[in-house]
Amino acid sequence: MGTSLSTRKVVAHPSERPLPPTSTDKTPAQSRGFTLIEVLVVISIMALMTLMAWRGIDTMSRTQGQLQSRANDTHTLQAGLAQWQADLDQLAQLPGTPSWNWDGQVLRLTRQSPTTLASRTGSQSSVMVVAWTWRRDPSQPNSGNWQRWQSPPLSQRQAWQSAWKLAQQWGQAAEANTQTGQVQIHPLSGWHLFVHLGGNWANPLSNDTVTPGNPSDASTPNTNVLQGTVPDGVRLVLQLPPGPIGSGTLIMDWIRPTLSGQHS
């Protein structure tokens, strides 16, 4: 009689089953944290990124500051040139009153005033005395300031004469009694004026283009001055010192609005 064997599956009791591994049972490779070298590398990378970002912001800030400074410098120069042209455009031709006088140091002009003054007989137009000069600045080597001066609106000849003399004094030396009405226009290394008379551009202080002036009315005795007659044109030559808008020579021509005829 043969013997048969039966296979029986043995199931372990729940209490005898192995428990799942816990976090404390991880291998050494799984439980290892950051080393000191890794932390230092991360900190170094973060510091480098911060430095690069700071340099980028600093460069942008510097560029913006330079652009703003250049814009401001350009604006002040443009405003000065516009004022220069406006003064020449509004020259007043009054009987017995010079509208133009250049003695090599200060240019004096009599121009129409935008202000209307009230009088006993009603409102009347007025004029102003305007002066332009370049004054050396001791604090700026090889440089100075382009300056403008103007009087209050005038309607009496005596008041005009006082303002005309005061403008000459201001051109010679800016003192407390003459600085009222003075405006700083723009830094310059120097300036020159040329006039257009007889169909040619010439130095207004040359013998070919001037009429003898009153020595007591000039900045230097026996100095020839161009006075009274308004030239057909004025050429302004400005020497710009190194600055936000750069350095070099700026030339601006003005032509008398009432000029007519053929001129070369």
Residue 81 has pLDDT above 80, yes or no: yes
210 and 201 Cβ atoms separated by less than 8 Å: no
Distance CA 15, CA 7 (A): 24
Distance CA 130, CA 78 (A): 19
Higher pLDDT, 168 or 197: 168
Higher pLDDT, 11 or 172: 172
- The residue-averaged pLDDT of 224-232 equals 64
Percent of the chain with pLDDT over 90: 29
- Range list of β-strands (E), 80-232: 100-102, 106-112, 117-119, 122-124, 127-136, 144-150, 182-188, 190-197, 200-202, 226-227
CA 117 to chain centre: 34
Chain segment 37-76, per-residue pLDDT in tens: 888 888 888 888 888 877 777 777 777 766 777 788 889 9
Distance CA 122, CA 113 (A): 17
User: What is the torsional sign of CA 58, 64, 68, 69?
Assistant: positive
Residue 211 burial (10 A CB sphere; 0-12, 13-18, 19+): exposed
Within 13 Å and on the Cβ side, how many CA atoms surround 256?
Answer: 19
Dihedral over alpha carbons 211, 212, 216, 218 (to 10 degrees): 50
How confident is the model at residue 213, as a pLDDT?
Answer: 38
Residue 13 burial (10 A CB sphere; 0-12, 13-18, 19+): exposed
Residue 22 has pLDDT above 60, yes or no: no
Across-strand partners of 211? 225
98 and 230 Cβ atoms separated by less than 8 Å: no
Distance CA 178, CA 170 (A): 5
How confident is the model at residue 261, as a pLDDT?
Answer: 58
What are 107's two structure tokens? Answer: 């240019």
- In the predicted model, what is the mean pLDDT of the chain? 77
Task: Provide the whole-model pTM.
Answer: 0.68
Distance CA 43, CA 32 (A): 20
How confident is the model at residue 224, as a pLDDT?
Answer: 41
Residue 231 has pLDDT above 90, yes or no: no
- The residue-averaged pLDDT of 81-100 equals 90
